[in-house]
Structure 1
Amino acid sequence: MRTRMCFDDVAWEQSEAIQDAWVHELFKEETLMAIGQFILKHRRGVPIELCDPKAGAFNVSFRMKFEDGGSAIIRFPKPGATMFPEEKVRNEVDIIRYIQQHTTIPVPFVLHWGTKEENPLGLGPFIIMEYIDHVMDLSDVLNTPGYAIKDRPILDPHVGTAKLKLLYGQFAGILLQLSTLRLPKIGSLVQIDDFTWEVAQRPLSYNVNELVRLGTLPRLRLPRANETFQSASSYFTTLADLHLEHLIHQRNDAVDSADDCRRRYIARLLFRKLAKEGRFTASSTNLGPFNIWCDDLRPSNVLINEHLQIVGVVDWEFTYAAPVEFSHAPPWWLLLEQPEYWPDGLEAWTKVYESRLQTFLKVLRKQEGVAIDQGRLKDEQRLSRPMQQSWDSGDFWVTYAARKSFAFDAVFWTKLDARFFGPSMSTEDDRWKERIDLLTKDERAHMEKVVEKKLEGMKTRVLAWEPDEVDLKILK
């Protein structure tokens, strides 16, 4: 049986086709000229060059160089990749300005932004920002030499300890600053005026975008746009509900057999039971305050100069106030690669990760000591202790499973099942057969209905995106 849940390949192909068609339109001469003129309306100076666009996973950016030595970029969310473009742009602008005002983390300065209706170019919502000059990103430095851009990055196993401490230490300082930003609810920030922000929108996560894009989850199954959460337990329960909804609604490639479906269903139901019982959060942290959390904060979004000093942190679109358990889990990106994609499996990732974690915690403690000596941090605000505890207890895997719908199955059966439900005599693939007795009669009956639906759905392969997911005009 597969461990990870696969993406819906039919949806993925459509997503890629829409992105490619849209990007192709950007290279028309009249489009490029209009983009250049639009940047000049919001950034003073004599322009020198409009550089070729750069495309990331969710955005396309154009850089305009100026005679004064500075640059500005305009960035557009890519249709087909970004399922909530205006919400994403608005969230990113508000959180960038909040971080800029409350920390010393180097983030881009926002010159101007607007909605689709405010964009005369007809290219959707946008942000115009000052460009942060840099040599490379942190992933470039840490990645295994010889790996191509198309390859998934993996931390260079021969990286020098001094270099690793230098880079980990700077990143640790960023996480430490973010951890001091405390908010009363779980959700996305909305700027009210120049000095006031409120948690007033749902937490728009990386996972939510991918559930809609590659998991074909109907939008009505998501939290409402203005829905926030007063407790960590209620948010964990909502995430567990989304895992189950994902399994039920993904049209293609969700399961490969009846038993595979039962295995995935039981895992999600047991995880939801634990969430509803409040097993994933402590009473002391359940009601907040909550920490700023960025789903996409990783080395490829951290810019460095020729001296290996961090000069910028970019791509804050999937950032929101989250349970403190998220921030207390040590960062997954220490090896660059996510555990579910590690070539030799989850346990092999864990073994390599443990040694790198100790290096990271050592430099984090040093950062904490400096901040305490300077009066910027209190001893009880240290991150190193809860991070070590999260790893030792296995809570790291709870938060990872809660945030990662497509990785959920691998994490649940490898890292969570035995912890919460006891040892098993079966192999990992067959352990679900022992856990079926934990379901009620009604739950088992519902499971069989889900199995029947999934097996019927496997007979044909159709696109299951909702109508407003796709701008079909782009493909014509």
Structure 2
Amino acid sequence: MEMRMNPDDVTWEQAEETSDNWLAQFLERSILVPIAYFILEQKRGNATEFAILKKGSYNISLRLKYENEATVIRLSQPGAVFFPEEKVVNEVAVMRFIADQTSVPVPFIVHSGTKKESPLELSPFIIMDYVEHETKMYDALNTPGCPVEERGVLDPDIDRDRLEMLYGQLADVLLRLAMPALPRIGSLSQVDDFTWEVTRRPLSMNMNELVRLGGLPRSKLPKADATFSTTSSYLEALVDLNIEHLAHQRNDAVESADDCRRKFVARRLFRKLARDKRLANPSLDKGPFKIWCDDLRPANVLLNYNMQIAGIVDWEFTYSAPPEFSYAPPWWLLIEKPEYWPKGIEDWTRVFDYRLKTFLKVMKQCEDSAIQQGRLIEAQRLSGPMHDSWTSGDFWVIYAVLHSFAFDAIYWQKIDSRFFGPAESPEHAWKERLDLLDESDKDEMERLVARKLEEMETRTLS
């Protein structure tokens, strides 16, 4: 039985079709020429070449080369990004914040604007300096010979010194990002050249994916101006999203009546834990909060020919978040996510535990160096909190609230037994947990089962 929740393939297909149709126009000279001239209006010079740089998950990037430098325009991709204006405004504000408040290398922003302000009104955009680089951290860590179209996995035979050198740079980035303290959870707005405030909802990658692949109505997300003053209130909002997701995704949400019951029980118990404030550390509940990027991973870390970080790109879905997010060790140490690991989540856990020791070792070295230089104080160390997050299981709680489609696998394999005691097996544990639900919950569960089975039947007939 599938433990993960599959995306709605009808909604997914529609989103992909929208993206493909929009991207196809970039093969036309009549589209490319006005974009090139638009960039030249912002940054004049003797242009030598203009071409598509790459199509990413959420954007298309085009590069205009000059004699000694290059400029990139990045346009949000319809069908991939469901809140394009909000995404770009957030990204610009947070990139300028990171450039001003930390020494993390981010591209310099030349100009940005709305869809209406973009060339040919294509899409909200950012024009930024191109970061010259030789390769990406992803390629430096990935298994050699892994086909481009396949999902990458950390090279199991990677040289230890090389791994420590690469991990050390990533650890240093995480340390620097964790230093600024923010008073609320949410997205940043730039007030003036030196002031930023948390004024809007924390627009996350997971929220975008729930709408794009789960068919979640936008009205179910936190309101656009919603910010959060405590970790516990934010976690409750995220837990509620998982409940809404199960209720609203029409296709591929469940495989059977019992699968629906199991998914319902997991979400209700997780919400109970959130409401009882058992998912967050009480001493951290009121912050201070930290900069968190949902999409920070090796594929977005650019390296120069010396294998040193030249710049980090793709800061969409970055916001002020609970400290527990920064205290959870980064899942991307193995490149691959636990729910996609070929040998399963338990094997991922075993390999991750082994590699985490190396990461925490170099993290401590970074911290020691920063403390000696006066850039860090003892209380700002991340290595201790990361170790504790992993050993306590808090890592899995944070992972579950950030990855809705992986929620079921993570909850039953890594969270349920921690809070409610051992069960016969992850697959059948839900039956043993039914006593923890009250009668109204059970009635609601059976109504949901009936509706989901009807949706499955309707789809089969059509």
What is aligned with 1:44? 44
User: 1:250 aligned to 2:249?
Assistant: yes
| Higher share of residues assigned helix | 2
Deviation at 1:117, TM superposition (A): 1.6
Quick one: percent identity of the two aligned structures?
56
* Counterparts of 2:425 and 2:385, CA distance in 1: 32
Deviation at 1:121, TM superposition (A): 1.5
* Counterparts of 2:433 and 2:278, CA distance in 1: 18
* Counterparts of 1:66 and 1:148, CA distance in 2: 33
* Counterparts of 1:129 and 1:459, CA distance in 2: 50
What is aligned with 1:13? 13
Deviation at 1:260, TM superposition (A): 0.1
CA-based RMSD: 0.9
- Counterpart residue identity of residue 13, structure 1: E
- Counterpart residue identity of residue 442, structure 1: S
| Contact 2:34 2:119 survives alignment (8 Å) | no
* Counterparts of 1:461 and 1:303, CA distance in 2: 45
What is aligned with 2:178? 179
User: 1:456 aligned to 2:451?
Assistant: no
Other structure's SS at 1:127 match: strand
User: 1:4 aligned to 2:4?
Assistant: yes
Deviation at 1:42, TM superposition (A): 0.8
Instruction: Note the 1:73-222 alignment, pairs <5 A.
Output: 73-222=72-221
What is aligned with 1:23? 23
| Contact 2:144 2:155 survives alignment (8 Å) | yes
| Contact 1:12 1:213 survives alignment (8 Å) | yes
The number of residue pairs the alignment matches comes to 460
1:342-380 CA deviation, whole Å, 9 max, x = no partner?
001000000000110000000000000010001100011
Other structure's SS at 1:62 match: strand
Deviation at 1:118, TM superposition (A): 1.3
Other structure's SS at 1:63 match: strand
Other structure's SS at 1:47 match: coil
User: Which is further off, 280-289 or 270-279?
Assistant: 280-289
1:47-82 CA deviation, whole Å, 9 max, x = no partner?
000023410000000000002x10000000111000
1:223-282 CA deviation, whole Å, 9 max, x = no partner?
000000010000010111000000000010000000000000000000000001111112
| Contact 1:137 1:301 survives alignment (8 Å) | yes
What is aligned with 2:384? 385
* Counterparts of 1:131 and 1:295, CA distance in 2: 22
Instruction: Extract unaligned runs of 5+ from structure 2.
Output: none
* TM-score (ref. length: structure 2): 0.99
1:366-395 CA deviation, whole Å, 9 max, x = no partner?
000010001100011100000000001000
| Contact 2:63 2:130 survives alignment (8 Å) | yes
* Counterparts of 1:123 and 1:147, CA distance in 2: 35
* Counterparts of 1:148 and 1:35, CA distance in 2: 33
| Contact 1:61 1:73 survives alignment (8 Å) | yes
- Counterpart residue identity of residue 435, structure 2: D
| Contact 2:172 2:363 survives alignment (8 Å) | yes
What is aligned with 2:58? 58
* Counterparts of 1:331 and 1:294, CA distance in 2: 11
* TM-score (ref. length: structure 1): 0.96
- Counterpart residue identity of residue 334, structure 1: L
1:306-356 CA deviation, whole Å, 9 max, x = no partner?
110000000001101111110001010000000000001000000000110
| Contact 2:189 2:199 survives alignment (8 Å) | yes
Instruction: Extract unaligned runs of 5+ from structure 1.
Output: 463-476
User: Which is further off, 450-459 or 349-358?
Assistant: 450-459
* Counterparts of 1:186 and 1:30, CA distance in 2: 43
| Contact 2:74 2:125 survives alignment (8 Å) | yes
What is aligned with 1:468? none
What is aligned with 1:467? none
* Counterparts of 1:272 and 1:245, CA distance in 2: 12
* Counterparts of 2:255 and 2:233, CA distance in 1: 32
Other structure's SS at 2:284 match: coil
* Counterparts of 2:14 and 2:136, CA distance in 1: 30
1:175-222 CA deviation, whole Å, 9 max, x = no partner?
001111110000000111111110000001010000000000000100
Instruction: Note the 1:401-412 alignment, pairs <5 A.
Output: 401-412=400-411
Other structure's SS at 1:183 match: coil
| Contact 2:339 2:409 survives alignment (8 Å) | yes
* Counterparts of 2:187 and 2:459, CA distance in 1: 36
Which consecutive aligned stretches of 4+ in structure 1 deviate over 6 angstroms post-superposition? none
* Counterparts of 2:240 and 2:120, CA distance in 1: 39
What is aligned with 1:423? 422
- Counterpart residue identity of residue 81, structure 2: T
| Contact 2:35 2:119 survives alignment (8 Å) | no
Higher relative contact order (CA 8 A, sep 6+): 1
Deviation at 1:283, TM superposition (A): 1.9
* Counterparts of 1:93 and 1:459, CA distance in 2: 46
| Contact 2:61 2:73 survives alignment (8 Å) | yes
User: 1:280 aligned to 2:266?
Assistant: no
| Contact 1:232 1:323 survives alignment (8 Å) | yes
| Contact 1:184 1:288 survives alignment (8 Å) | yes
Deviation at 1:145, TM superposition (A): 1.0
* Counterparts of 1:459 and 1:259, CA distance in 2: 16
1:92-116 CA deviation, whole Å, 9 max, x = no partner?
0000000000111110100000001
